[in-house]
């Protein structure tokens, strides 16, 4: 499927052997493993500590690295709270019985499709085309434009083996378009599209002018770059895109379940959701204002079905083979 704990054991062992570690210290009372903006996690940790007096230790990484670390520590769990960039990872852990049931009172304004008995969205993002307007290429309007001659060898894509959101995009396009999606993927490969690591690694060459566009850019990262003065446009394709919810959950193995629940409460509080909005994510709560286009302004592909999610491991294998991975 998706990036799951079961498929990343080998990766986890390799990463831990290489010395990946948390920000660290056994003196901390709460441990959070998170994929996403590090600046956001710093704000949330500081705000939670100021409100509760409980310090937070956190490990920051891509969804793949976070899930791999969680798997590697299965015999001796360290994390209390997990924040992932992949909704599928929460569903997978829930099915495995790893999650503690908890519904925060602050989740009342979170739409039903973005919460369950054991996990809830922190915020949402959408996948887009990030385009450098100084690249001497025509402004794209849809995914298929990036498979055309003007974009030959000028397109990056986050590697779906490392980016849960990139895999969700492939899956959404396949579900919506059937065989035509693979015609597009073949054309992108033939046009020289490059798989370039995780999301930031795919975007940086576009900001630097070495590439013209990212296929499947995470919008909040691109909005953040734009806010810093980078010349980059965020384009939501006319045929539709995937909206990716970022789930938060308390692990059943948590040694501090009460503090972990309070952390979920804090992230969904007015203050926590304002911090989410400041990073250009769409807040999970519908009553908190976003600093970028709202969901209603983005043409979203249908939510993934159970069958679609079940087919993601095979999809990833086929796509990786197409690109020689």
220 labelled ligand-binding? yes
Sign of the C-alpha dihedral computed for residues 180, 184, 189 and 193 taken in this order? negative
Burial 164-186 (b: 16+ CB within 10 A, else e): bbbbbbbbbbbbbbeeebbebbe
- How many Cα atoms occupy the beta-carbon half-sphere of 29 within 13 Å? 14
Q: For residue 282, give the H/E element and its range.
A: strand 282-283
Q: In the numeric block, which tokens belong to residue 53?
A: 């007096």
Residue 189 CA to residue 252 CA, distance in Å, equals 42
Residue 5 burial (CB < 10 Å; 0-12/13-18/19+)? buried
Residue 255 CA to residue 257 CA, distance in Å, equals 6
Residue 145 CA to residue 216 CA, distance in Å, equals 13
Residue 35 CA to residue 67 CA, distance in Å, equals 9
DSSP β-bridge partners for residue 313:
none
Residue 82 CA to residue 65 CA, distance in Å, equals 12
**Feature table: binding site:** 220
**Feature table: binding site for Fe cation:** 220
């Amino acid at each position: 499927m998706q990036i799951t704990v079961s498929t990343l054991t080998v990766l986890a062992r390799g990463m831990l052997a290489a010395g990946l570690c948390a920000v660290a210290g056994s003196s901390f009372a709460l441990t959070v493993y998170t994929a996403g903006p590090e600046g956001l996690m710093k704000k949330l940790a500081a705000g939670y500590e100021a409100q509760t007096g409980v310090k937070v230790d956190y490990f920051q990484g891509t969804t793949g690295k976070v899930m791999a670390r969680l798997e590697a520590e299965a015999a001796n769990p360290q994390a209390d709270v997990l924040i992932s960039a992949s909704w599928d990872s929460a569903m997978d852990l829930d099915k495995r019985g790893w999650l503690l049931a908890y519904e925060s009172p602050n989740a009342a304004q979170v739409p039903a499709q973005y919460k369950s008995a054991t996990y809830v969205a922190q915020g949402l993002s959408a996948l887009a085309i990030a385009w450098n307007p100084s690249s001497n290429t025509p402004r794209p309007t849809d995914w298929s434009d990036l498979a055309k001659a003007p974009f030959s060898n000028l397109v990056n894509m986050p590697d779906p083996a490392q980016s849960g959101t990139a895999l969700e995009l492939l899956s959404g396009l396949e579900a919506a378009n059937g065989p035509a999606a693979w015609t597009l993927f073949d054309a992108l490969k033939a046009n020289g599209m490059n798989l370039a690591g995780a999301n930031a690694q795919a975007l940086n060459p576009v900001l630097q002018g070495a590439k013209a566009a990212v296929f499947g850019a995470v919008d909040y990262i691109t909005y953040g770059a734009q806010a810093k003065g980078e010349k980059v446009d965020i384009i939501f394709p006319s045929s539709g895109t995937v909206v990716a919810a970022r789930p938060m959950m308390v692990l059943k193995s948590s040694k501090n379940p009460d503090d972990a629940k309070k952390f979920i409460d804090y992230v969904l509080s007015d203050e926590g959701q304002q911090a989410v909005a400041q990073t250009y994510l769409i807040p999970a709560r519908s009553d908190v204002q976003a600093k970028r286009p709202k969901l209603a302004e983005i043409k979203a592909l249908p939510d993934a079905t159970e069958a679609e999610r079940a087919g993601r491991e095979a999809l990833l294998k086929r796509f990786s083979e197409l690109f020689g991975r």
